[in-house]
Amino acid sequence: MLTRRPKIAGKVLLLPIGQIEPSPYQAREEFDEQDIAQLAASILQNGLLQPVSVRRLAPGRYQLIAGERRLRACKLAGLYELPAILCEYEDAQTAALGLLENLQRQALNPFEQAKGIRELIALWGCTQEEAARRLGMAQPTLNNKLRLLSLSREDQNTCLALGLTERHARAALRLPGPERKKALEQMAAQGMSAKQADAYVEKLLSRPPRRRSIPMVRDVRIFINTINRAVRLMVDAGVPASSRRIDGEGYIEYTIKIPTGRSPAGPVLQPPQGPPASPLQHREEALTAQR
């Protein structure tokens, strides 16, 4: 529990910077390099006024609990050692303290806060309600923060790059995934407040659904070539198919005739048998008949 008073293994110690490892539970992903440089200059002038907190991993090895910015600034300033308070904390307590320090300093963006809270819940193995109580946060607030992780990484980066707030991001969450980025860009371009962003999303959701249009090929020559090719294939295969094209005003009419091999109903005419008779043969047959 965070309410348990930590055991202090000793007074403030001067530890070599090389023996201090960053915390694997650091929720903050981005650090302002200019801010770190300014802090390093202040440390060179005035010293480190607030010690960092560490825990012992092994002889000569320590892990940072709180004070990532200070540790980075001391390294940038070229210090060999820095003051540190040695504490005895377990993993869950270490992660919680690192997150709480950043929350109190408002040093995390909304998505880093959400990721840190999610990791704490996993470490504690507790419910969201219990996590909210431990963090001193209302449960709806905690739930709203966790919902931000439903945004894609690209949408999260868009929010941060455009300087949008947590409420802008939550408003965009109501939209289907493919529409979120464009909506976020519009919110920023029009300088919408959080309230205006909610109204904008509500307007988008109330639009009537678009009718799905059947995609058509703009160049009809593709269809014409396909028809001609099909007719040629049938002719080459021995099927006496034929086509007729009529170019009308604003349209093209095609008539395709494909024989099926069946003759229409009616008497069946038999082809003549043998070679055709000559005129002399016809005259002899006529005389024979008169006799």
Sequential pLDDT tens for the chain (291 residues)? 444 444 445 567 889 999 998 887 776 667 778 878 888 888 888 888 788 888 888 888 998 888 888 888 899 989 999 888 888 777 667 667 766 666 656 567 889 888 888 887 887 788 889 888 887 788 999 999 999 999 999 999 999 999 999 999 999 999 999 999 999 999 999 999 999 999 999 999 988 776 665 555 556 777 778 888 888 888 888 888 888 888 777 777 878 888 876 545 444 434 444 455 555 454 444 444 444
> Rounded to an integer, what distance in angstroms lies between the CA atom of residue 64 and that of residue 26?
9
> Rounded to an integer, what distance in angstroms lies between the CA atom of residue 31 and that of residue 37?
11
Q: Please list, in sequence order, all residues whose beta carbon lies within 8 angstroms of the beta carbon of residue 258, skipping any fewer than 6 positions away.
A: 234, 239, 241
Q: How far is CA 285 from the centre of its chain?
A: 96
Entry pTM: 0.52
Catalytic site positions: 68
pLDDT at 103: 63
pLDDT at 150: 93
Q: What residue type is assigned to position 181 of the chain? A: K
